[in-house]
Amino acid sequence: MTKNHLLIIAGLVCAAILTAVGVVHTKYLTRVHFAQLQDLRAQRDAIDVEWNRLRLDEAALSTHARVERKARHELGMFAPRVGDVLLIEDTGHGHP
């Protein structure tokens, strides 16, 4: 074999080794990123569960009966009596 043939073979062997190292490195990065993806999905699922719990809490805390009970007992509010209501008629926004 000539020197040129040996250089070509050596170059091809180096290229094959570098390609193999590249494949191993890429596979490693894929596994790392997949593990990160799984962690993020688990976090997302936990946040979704918490969000749904908070929505249920909000719905329970904002029912009309509860708000009215809080207004009456804690704030001393009451529905206006007939004599407390003043009716103002709109005459067309400033036009007589």
pLDDT in tens, 37-81: 999 999 999 999 999 999 999 998 889 888 899 899 999 998 888
pLDDT at 39: 98
Model confidence at 96, pLDDT cuts 50, 70, 90, reads low
Least confident piece of the model among 1-15, 30-44, 64-78, 81-95: 81-95
The answer to whether 75 touches 81, Cβ cutoff 8 Å, is no
Helix (H, G, I), strand (E, B) or coil at 41: helix
Q: State the Cα angle at 66 between 62 and 67, rounded to 5°.
A: 65
Between 24 and 95, whose confidence is greater? 24
Chain mean position to CA 67: 30
